[in-house]
Amino acid sequence: MRVQRMDAELARRAQEQKTLQVATGANWGSHERFVQSGFGFVVVAGEDTLAAAISTFAIGSGEAEIDITTATDFRRQGMATLMGCAFVAHCLKHDLTPSWTANYGNSGSTATARRLDFVDRFALPCFTIDATEESP
Three-state DSSP state, 55 = strand
Q: Is residue 134 part of a domain?
A: no
Q: Is residue 104 part of a domain?
A: yes
Each residue's pLDDT tens digit, 28-61: 999 999 999 999 999 999 999 999 999 999 999 9
Q: Is residue 122 part of a domain?
A: no
CATH number at residue 14: 3.40.630.30
Nearest-angstrom CA–CA distance, 125 and 118: 19
Q: Which residues pair with 44 in a beta bridge?
A: 2, 50
* Number of structural domains the chain divides into: 1
Each residue's pLDDT tens digit, 68-98: 999 989 999 999 999 999 999 999 999 999 9
Q: Is residue 57 part of a domain?
A: yes
**What is the layout of strands, in order, in the sheet containing 49-60?**
2-5, 40-45, 49-60, 63-70, 97-99
Q: Is residue 126 part of a domain?
A: no
> If you average pLDDT over residues 93-104, what whole number do you get?
87
Instruction: Please give the pLDDT value at position 124.
Output: 65
Q: Is residue 125 part of a domain?
A: no
C-alpha separations of 98 from 83, 93, 101, 114, 127 in Å:
13, 11, 10, 13, 24
**Residue from 69, 68, 49 nearest 2 by CA:** 49
Q: Is residue 121 part of a domain?
A: no
CA atoms in the 13 A half-sphere facing the CB of 9: 2
Q: Is residue 6 part of a domain?
A: yes
Q: pTM for the complete prediction?
A: 0.83
Q: At what angle do helices 107-115 and 79-93 cross, to 10 degrees?
A: 50
Domain housing 56: 2-115
